[in-house]
């Protein structure tokens, strides 16, 4: 049974869809969860969780959080870089249309934010510490939302560099790559996108935060003590078939093709 008892874990974007679920799972494993976000969580936090306002793009705010944690809790065990933005509406995400403003915002929140978090909190982490970066399948191939995809590729690179640099201090760094999951981030995603997406998911459905949160908990726990520098898809098999599913479906189960 995974235990995070007496471990302080900082979670960014904790008021969002995945963040709320991760908070609940970590608290259920007895972690002290420091939930951060630019907005207040709507739901009451579970016992053991506390809220701090934090814009991940602000080095000053990370500094304030680090000093507060040091004074109140001592060492930090875990950091979950979960805050993210999509900024993709209609064509506006596509490469030929993405505005410089959106591009810069995507990189600032999705990639620079986690870098600032690691700079601020790694010094408070001790042997056994764990950082989990919430990437995306968008960081594993081409993606419709160009700036989002590039920001998730950057995050994946950051994870590997951090795992190399922090390993000697006994701190592990991993990234996970969820497929489409139902959260407020996707409330304006059109039905035809979702239908097309489901058609490339071998398991035949979109994901939910409950499909993802237990993996975050596992990566923060000592049960994954030898796992570092990995990018782990949690996507119902989407990345595994590199586009071949459409051909497999067209051929039918009995026909092996050429």
* Residue 16 in contact with ligand NAD, rule: CB under 6 A: yes
Q: Which residue is nearest to ligand NAD (CB)?
A: 16
Torsion of CA 73, 8, 231, 243, to 10 degrees: -130
Q: With binding defined as CB under 6 A, does residue 82 bind ligand NAD?
A: yes
The verdict on 228 binding ligand NAD (CB under 6 A) reads no
184 binds ligand NAD, rule: CB under 6 A: yes
- Dig out the tokens for 30 from the structure: 């007895």
Instruction: Report which of 147, 120, 14 is spatially closest to residue 66, judged by C-alpha positions.
Output: 120
Distance CA 221, CA 226 (A): 11
Q: At its nearest, how many Å lie between ligand NAD and the CB of residue 22? A: 9
End-to-end CA distance of the chain: 47
Is 175 an interacting residue with respect to ligand NAD (CB under 6 A)? no
**Structural contact between residues 201 and 236, judged by C-beta atoms closer than 8 angstroms:** yes
Q: Which of 174, 165, 148, 149 is nearest to 233 (CA)?
A: 174
| Active-site pick, 62, 148, 153, 180 | 148
Rank residues 16 and 78 by Cβ distance to ligand NAD and give the closer one: 16
Burial class (CB within 10 angstroms; exposed 0-12, middle 13-18, buried 19+) of 117: buried
Q: Among residue numbers 86 through 125, which ones bind ligand NAD (CB under 6 A)?
A: 109
Residue 30 or 45 with smaller CB distance to ligand NAD: 45
Instruction: Print the binding letters for residues 185-204 with ligand NAD: x by CB under 6 A, - otherwise.
Output: xx------------------
Contact 222, 214 (CB under 8 A): no
Specify the stretch interacting with ligand NAD by CB under 6 A; choose among 62-70, 95-103, 162-170, 173-181.
173-181
Q: Which region among 15-23, 62-70, 119-127, 245-253 touches ligand NAD (by CB under 6 A)? A: 15-23
* Residue 93 exposed, middle or buried by CB count within 10 Å (0-12, 13-18, 19+): buried
Using CB under 6 A as the binding rule, whether residue 15 contacts ligand NAD is answered as: yes
Among candidate residues 34, 49, 74, 77, the one with its CA nearest the CA of residue 171: 77
Query: Which range touches ligand NAD (CB under 6 A), out of 17-25, 44-52, 93-101, 117-125?
Result: 17-25
Contact status: 141 vs ligand NAD (CB under 6 A): no
Q: Mark whether 148 is an active-site residue.
A: yes
- Is 178 an interacting residue with respect to ligand NAD (CB under 6 A)? yes
The conformation of residue 220, written as its DSSP 8-state character, comes to: H
Give the residue from 166, 72, 71 showing the smallest Cα distance to 123: 166
Give the per-residue contact string, 40-79, with ligand NAD (x = CB under 6 A; - = no).
Answer: --------------xxxx----------------------
Alpha carbon dihedral 62, 67, 71, 77, in 10-degree steps, equals 50
Enzyme catalytic residues: 148
Which residues bind to ligand NAD, rule: CB under 6 A? 12-13, 15-19, 37-39, 54-57, 82-85, 109, 134, 136, 178, 180-181, 183-186
């Amino acid at each position: 049974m995974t235990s995070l008892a007496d471990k302080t874990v900082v979670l960014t974007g904790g008021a969002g869809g995945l963040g709320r679920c991760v908070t609940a799972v970590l608290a259920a494993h007895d972690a002290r969860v420091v939930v951060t976000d630019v907005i207040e969580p709507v739901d009451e936090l579970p016992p053991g969780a506390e809220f701090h306002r934090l814009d991940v793009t602000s080095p000053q705010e990370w500094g304030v959080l680090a000093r507060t944690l040091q004074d109140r809790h001592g060492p930090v065990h875990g950091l979950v870089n979960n805050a993210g933005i999509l900024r993709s509406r209609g064509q506006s995400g596509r490469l030929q249309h993405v505005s410089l403003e959106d591009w810069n915002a995507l990189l600032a929140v999705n990639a620079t934010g986690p870098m600032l978090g690691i700079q601020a909190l790694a010094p408070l982490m001790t042997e056994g510490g764990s950082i989990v970066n919430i990437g995306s399948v968008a960081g594993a191939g081409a993606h419709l939302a160009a700036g989002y995809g590039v920001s998730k590729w950057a995050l994946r690179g950051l994870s590997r560099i951090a795992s190399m640099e922090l390993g000697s201090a006994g701190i592990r760094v991993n990234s996970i790559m969820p497929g489409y999951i139902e959260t407020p981030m996707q409330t304006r995603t059109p039905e035809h996108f979702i239908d097309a997406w489901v058609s490339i998911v071998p398991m035949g459905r979109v994901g939910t935060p409950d499909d993802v949160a237990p993996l975050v908990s596992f990566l923060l726990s000592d049960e994954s003590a030898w796992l570092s520098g990995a990018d782990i898809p949690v996507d119902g098999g989407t990345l595994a078939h590199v586009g071949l599913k459409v051909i497999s479906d067209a051929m039918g189960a009995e026909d092996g093709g050429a």
